[in-house]
Structure 1
């Protein structure tokens, strides 16, 4: 329970309409897309960097945990107030401070939606490349906290590649500025890239300077259908060998196609058990040339058909409905965003099929295969304890397979609480200890999103 002294001090600088104390009000901030529930004791809606600074100083004084939130669209539990305390919602910090066309820069507060950044940049012929499927709902701050990616990361990279600088508040309440306003700058350590993907464990981001990119002149699309996932994976390797490759390359397995056909029956032939959605952008001539090259790259013995697509936007709309449709198969999904090198995609898909068959689990796979990033969905009944036990054992072996194939446990969702038990599969104890020392430098009292990322045993030993 929050101390009365904390509440009294809070009331002196935060107006009453900027915080909730009633548990019923706070409950709306108790969950994210991981479907876990951890109610905070208080929800606060800061509107300035100075308010965040004062608040963190107060929380440090009273040793109150602080968990920053965007709109709660994350899947890894990163925005859950597991240890109670404060849920710091950034949803009212929604100013786009500046669109600087000459320098291709947009300066924004963290509560601005990804989609609204695109709306602000588009009239100037620019865009911000990170495009998670939650773009219409997720915030810039949340995108930065997890280094969000999306389909177009295969050409443009993830959030980490498109942020020039940050204003943030560290665990002492002090305000820091990182990075610079220019695309070149090598003064000191790169704290900007350190904060990106740190999931609110090092600092609270209150302002971001984003690097914008010119919109492509033209876009084109292809679809390719295969008899099986292995043939499809071989095609991906061929496609990614081209110097001028796709701007997006998405994979749908047979389970994914069955779900989408239930709403969009025309999207794939009945014999298709794996599909590639390919987007190409550039000048009109480049789109024409690359389309011809990639149509040839799609060819192999397992190909059923490949053709240019006249309505790429309709395809993306169907693709974005996929994740919610998984609830039609099972009440719970264990959703992971593993990544392997392109050359290992065939081995990954083969291994996933073997493991799901071995553990007798429904499994639907799709994702940004041009980056080797596959979203694995183990579909289970959470009330079936034996099935849940099999799913956890299967997940453990999936992570072992990923590491064996020189991959990584998370491409864009982050670690949060959902994957912290597995982080030592990828990182050595020395690396984890160094990360914890960095955490201590930024947050000496461990009040910023405590308990996230690091294995619990590792934390308890400190």
Structure 2
């Protein structure tokens, strides 16, 4: 859409000349994310303060201009792509850690703070914020909240929804509000904090977050288990999660993933049908018993090898297979389709078997890995040519149908965005979707907040 001169002059007055960009080259930079989708915004607004965010929303609402919040663009579903044009609101300059409060186990941050920078700032205090996406060195807290993006530690410590106490935000009406608490318990009205987390910018702009911190464990042990086949590894995951000691990471790689990683990184990656990376944390005196409990559960039919790292340096070596996987996938296929489906942990063996069957049925390379302790499998379709790319579409639909039939859901941490929007009726009934639309209308009656995303 073309923005009026009146709107642009008003926005410059609100934000300052240096905070509004309309040059095509600069706009292009803010028109794509890690999904490889792209669209051109009409303007980019750089926000420095909460008050600027309020004025921006009010101005966009008055002129019916689409408004798309953006962190660092690491999203893989197209959630920050401005498909309707309008203004992209970049939060990269709102990157201040406002307060670290160890006594109350909380930190107050602006949305542009990088996940990795926050972890570094918390470390001297003996705390961490549990969500740890793979992109943590360069993804923002605001983006983590928008998609409820988590990572390996979720299996023990939870996602952003479980680790955020409160928010400051601006609804699509232009009204500023606070929600949540600064206490470990709270039962006062509707939980708007958890509602906003995972809403992908379709309800409000988040301008501040009060995060719940966790004391950093003083010891960590890493184990690597290899199996003859994926079914054996999947059954081991179910056994591990059924015993009392919860690992702080439980990562799965199938045989195809291991072969790709081995071709890329060499003999540091084991040859096997499947692999589990397991980490257990806690106090030094309690750790040997915890490691033994997890090891007992990992043993079973199909186990080839179970090895515990002697120290941190060896632990890095054991993680080599997982680290080598992403570059290996990019080398095989420039058209990688990365899905992050979730099923109940007990159904993981059935999901893994179904994915193998889909690969054979559609004659398509599929690599599976992910956060097995949550039943969160990253299923990567890797079409190498146009024919395989064409077969990937029905394969993807069949994958989602299978996941729903196994009582699972479409996404664990990547979100919905554009990529999975049209599959939402598979996961949610018409009545549920209409209730969600009603909530959206309450927050954003004019439909300016990230239009075209999340809801079909």
Alignment correspondent of 2:306: 306
- Distance of aligned partners of 1:317 and 1:126 in 2 relative to their CA distance in 1, 3 Å threshold: farther
Alignment correspondent of 2:369: 366
Q: Give the whole-Å Cα distance in 2 for the aligned partners of 1:37 and 1:315.
A: 37
Q: Give the whole-Å Cα distance in 2 for the aligned partners of 1:264 and 1:295.
A: 27
Q: Give the whole-Å Cα distance in 1 for the aligned partners of 2:216 and 2:240.
A: 23
Q: In the alignment, does 2:59 pair up with 1:58?
A: yes
Matches within 5 A, 1:299-448: 299-310=299-310, 311-316=314-319, 319-381=322-384, 384=386, 386-448=387-449
Q: 3-state DSSP class of the match of 1:284? A: coil
In the alignment, is the contact (CA less than 8 A) between 1:351 and 1:401 conserved in 2? yes
- Distance of aligned partners of 1:216 and 1:368 in 2 relative to their CA distance in 1, 3 Å threshold: same
Alignment correspondent of 1:255: 256
Post-superposition offset of 1:17: 1.6
Q: Give the whole-Å Cα distance in 1 for the aligned partners of 2:327 and 2:88.
A: 26
Q: 3-state DSSP class of the match of 1:332? A: coil
Alignment correspondent of 1:293: 293
In the alignment, is the contact (CA less than 8 A) between 1:256 and 1:365 conserved in 2? yes
In the alignment, is the contact (CA less than 8 A) between 1:141 and 1:205 conserved in 2? yes
Worse-matched range after superposition: 256-265 or 133-142: 256-265
C-alpha deviations, 1:157-203, integer Å up to 9, x for none? 11110000000001111101000111111111100000000000000
In the alignment, is the contact (CA less than 8 A) between 1:77 and 1:416 conserved in 2? yes
Alignment correspondent of 1:460: none
Q: Give the whole-Å Cα distance in 1 for the aligned partners of 2:316 and 2:165.
A: 30
Q: Give the whole-Å Cα distance in 1 for the aligned partners of 2:267 and 2:57.
A: 53
Matches within 5 A, 1:79-228: 79-228=80-229
- Distance of aligned partners of 1:320 and 1:67 in 2 relative to their CA distance in 1, 3 Å threshold: farther
Post-superposition offset of 1:344: 0.6
Q: Give the whole-Å Cα distance in 1 for the aligned partners of 2:269 and 2:381.
A: 23
Alignment correspondent of 1:70: 71
Worse-matched range after superposition: 167-176 or 317-326: 317-326
Q: Give the whole-Å Cα distance in 1 for the aligned partners of 2:187 and 2:26.
A: 45
Q: TM-score, normalised by structure 2?
A: 0.97
- Distance of aligned partners of 1:125 and 1:236 in 2 relative to their CA distance in 1, 3 Å threshold: same
Post-superposition offset of 1:315: 4.1
- Distance of aligned partners of 1:201 and 1:321 in 2 relative to their CA distance in 1, 3 Å threshold: farther
Q: Give the whole-Å Cα distance in 1 for the aligned partners of 2:320 and 2:50.
A: 37
Q: In the alignment, does 2:9 pair up with 1:8?
A: yes
In the alignment, is the contact (CA less than 8 A) between 1:26 and 1:41 conserved in 2? yes
Q: TM-score, normalised by structure 1?
A: 0.96
Q: Give the whole-Å Cα distance in 1 for the aligned partners of 2:51 and 2:323.
A: 38
Post-superposition offset of 1:387: 2.6
- Distance of aligned partners of 1:45 and 1:338 in 2 relative to their CA distance in 1, 3 Å threshold: same
C-alpha deviations, 1:33-68, integer Å up to 9, x for none? 110111111111110010010011000111100010
* Alignment length (residue pairs): 452
CA RMSD of the aligned region, Å? 1.2
- Distance of aligned partners of 1:40 and 1:150 in 2 relative to their CA distance in 1, 3 Å threshold: same
In the alignment, is the contact (CA less than 8 A) between 2:224 and 2:318 conserved in 1? no
Q: 3-state DSSP class of the match of 1:151? A: coil
Q: 3-state DSSP class of the match of 1:223? A: strand
Long gaps (5+) in structure 1: 456-462
C-alpha deviations, 1:12-40, integer Å up to 9, x for none? 12122212101111111111111011111
Alignment correspondent of 2:275: 275
Post-superposition offset of 1:325: 2.7
Post-superposition offset of 1:300: 1.9
Q: Give the whole-Å Cα distance in 1 for the aligned partners of 2:55 and 2:317.
A: 47
Q: Give the whole-Å Cα distance in 2 for the aligned partners of 1:403 and 1:379.
A: 22
Alignment correspondent of 1:245: 246
- Distance of aligned partners of 1:77 and 1:371 in 2 relative to their CA distance in 1, 3 Å threshold: same
- Distance of aligned partners of 1:284 and 1:130 in 2 relative to their CA distance in 1, 3 Å threshold: same
